[in-house]
Amino acid sequence: MARLALDNPAYYINREASWLAFNRRVLEEAQDEKNPLLERLKFLSISASNLDEFFEVRVAGLVQQIEDGYTEAGPDGLTLVEERDVVSRETHEFVDDQYHCWNDKLRPALSDHGIRVLGIHELDSRSRAFIEEYCEKELDLLLTPVTVDPAHPFPRVINKALCVAFLLRRRRRSALTYTGVVTVPRALPRLVRLPADGTDDFIFLADLVAFHASRMYHGYDIVSSAAFRVTRNSNLYLAEEESRNLLESVRTELHNRRKGDAVRLEIEADADPEIIERLRTNFELEPWQVFSVNGPVNLSRLFNIYEQTAHPDIKFKPFSPRELRLTAKSQDLFEELRRHDILLHHPFDSYDAVVSFIEAAAQDPRVLSIKQTLYRTNEQSLIVPALISAAEKKEVTAVVELKARFDEDTNIRWARDLEDAGVQVFHGLVGLKTHCKLSLLVRRDSDGVTRRYAHLGTGNYNANTARIYTDLSLLTADPEITGAVHDVFSFLTAYAEHPNYEPLLVAPLDLAERCLGLIEREADHARHGHPARIIAKMNALLDKNIIMALYRASQAGVEIDLIVRGMCALRPGVRGVSDRIRVRSIVGRFLEHSRIFQFANGGEEEVYLSSADWMPRNLYERVEVMFPLKDALARERVRHEILDAYLVDNVKSRVLQKDAIYVRSWQSEGKRRPPVGAQAFSAQDFLLGLAEGKQTAEAMPIPAPRRARRVLLDKER
């Protein structure tokens, strides 16, 4: 039998098309009537925010490459122009579906629940009186009307700023029309709450600007108006090697980013064609980059309705995460860690344990030093103040990644605050982002021995996102792991490369090579008849070398289950190539963010967690860490509680077909109807039930031997 060429473009799915398929799965959650109504609205808002970033980064980069003359095709064989055409077609269809969801599904349903978004023509006398006063006292004071003419050039519209364009005609020169532009002030809410009894009523701020235009344009007749928004290229173009001060370079580039090249124009569907053409020409856009939308220009702002209305009956039920409890034998967390590792699964396990680990270190006089990486953290972070407080009494080192996309400004502020407090602040390595999640403490314990303690995670040090992202944390005092974490910090602060970082796998040094080795080891086990299986959970799978290794492992007989939330370039189910590979994606209440890699290893099972996806940027362009779970109970929990749950989910799981289409898991099994009652199993709901003590392992529909293992695990815990 002829050997198949595994680099055949037919075996790969286009990256951008795969991302758009992921965002469609998010939109499906907005369309799904089984979800609470306000949660559906939130999913619609998230899909819009996702699409913003897609244009700011991915489409902007694609357009830039085409303009620069790049011709190289991707692994899927599409040229850049062909890829652009796919993006154009798919995004226009997607936006149409978003507005259909809003206009025909969500808005009427919200109105039935007393939550109304009204137009000017729908206001009663009370609301009209309110907006008159609101405009006079709040809005009009902040507006700056511009009329474009030889003396007044078109205003610089910053990235994603909501504006209203007008077609104007001077009353004394009726033959000429002018373009007017007003930027809707960001200081005011995009949705203005109206006075109402028994209902929650809102009106879009842009509607008020258009309604009051006559106050701004005296001497003009307003022929027509339309709200619009421009999305700009938000990639940072840094020459790091030539930079004298990375912080200042990032700060300067951030200022420039707000004025990057336009990549998309969104405008109301009923806009006058003359307005559309004038705007398109001004922003130098192709027709495919213009999106006429049948509704509010920025759907992501609908999230304000979710935040400003209570209605607990149409939201997810609140839950209380499981708090970390120390055993009776331990006096504090450090003594507990000397006994065994602690594995936390957020948000089901409270993130407070991670914060407490760092806060305790800051206050504990026995802790001599703290080292910390920061990629994204929340504005009200308790971790940064803890580091600042600790700097008064002990050695504190922070590696702050200034180039974390869309968090650059926040990270610059944190870096300056930390430096002012005496923390040694570093910004990682030139040309690489620091994406690993590490915290390392050195402590002189009560027995006189100086030990290291570490936290390693799959997610950011952000207590806010830890409530809505699924991630895993490992707290450990294992000498091998903590010693290797120390070496990684030396790499980050001094570019000091060690011969190896075992038991850690570190990008860009050896992570890719060793992952390929782990996959090939499973293939070798399969060839020799030993237990061989791979289960890998991640956010994205794009690296061609990894994909080819998985294809070879499948050909060798390895059973492979991939749980990939977002982009996946691997094409499963191809005869002779990926027959034994199954790919599923879970999109639900929580954003699946954890990275887990399990290898059967001939019966000596290994489980790794990581900050890295199997993407080129993670493997070769960032400092990432993949770490083993050495504690047997932790491995069992990941394998038989977490991974098993995701693999049998038949509610929120979609299965990738070889034609690159995602279908519900029950559809992939040939069933005509979704499961109901006891047959329906949601992994996230199951894990919530476990955390709250409302559910046991018996709820998981898995074969008896694995259930027995699950019950035993419950008893051990």
Q: Which tokens in the block code for residue 83?
A: 């890829």
| Residues sharing a CB contact under 8 Å with residue 357, sequence separation 6 or more, in sequence order | 333, 439, 441, 453, 455, 475
DSSP H or E stretch at residue 248: helix 246-257
- The separation between CA 184 and the C-alpha centre of its own chain, rounded to angstroms, equals 28
449-455, long-range: CB < 8 A, 24+ apart: 450/368, 451/338, 451/477, 451/479, 451/482, 452/477, 452/479, 452/482, 452/483, 452/485, 452/486, 453/334, 453/337, 453/357, 453/361, 453/477, 453/482, 454/481, 454/482, 454/485, 455/354, 455/357, 455/358
Q: Which tokens in the block code for residue 127?
A: 């609301």
Among the listed residues 594, 607, 567, the one whose alpha carbon sits nearest the alpha carbon of residue 583: 567
Chain length of the chain: 717
Give the three-class secondary structure for 118.
Answer: strand
DSSP letter assigned to residue 323: P
Among the listed residues 85, 130, 120, 122, the one whose alpha carbon sits nearest the alpha carbon of residue 206: 120
Secondary structure of 541-579 in the HEC alphabet? ECCHHHHHHHHHHHHHCCEEEEEECCCECECCCCCCCCC
Judge whether 435 counts as a catalytic residue: yes
Q: Which amino acid would we find at residue 319? A: F
Q: Which amino acid would we find at residue 539? A: N
Tokens 């995004």 identify what position? Answer: 91
Give the three-class secondary structure for 622.
Answer: strand
Phi, psi of 35 (to 5 degrees): -80, 150
Q: Is 472 exposed, middle or buried (0-12, 13-18, 19+ CB in 10 A)?
A: buried
List Cα–Cα distances, 695 to 456, 497, 648, in angstroms. Answer: 28, 47, 16
Among the listed residues 297, 428, 446, 301, the one whose alpha carbon sits nearest the alpha carbon of residue 375: 428
Give the three-class secondary structure for 12.
Answer: strand
Catalytic annotation, pick one of 345, 346, 427, 435? 435
Whether cis (ω within 30° of 0) applies to the bond prior to 503 is yes
The secondary structure of the chain in percent helix, strand, coil, rounded to multiples of 5, reads 40, 20, 35
List Cα–Cα distances, 387 to 67, 99, 397, in angstroms. Answer: 46, 46, 9
Query: 475: which strand partners?
Result: 342, 455
Phi, psi of 264 (to 5 degrees): -155, 140
Residues acting as catalytic residues? 435
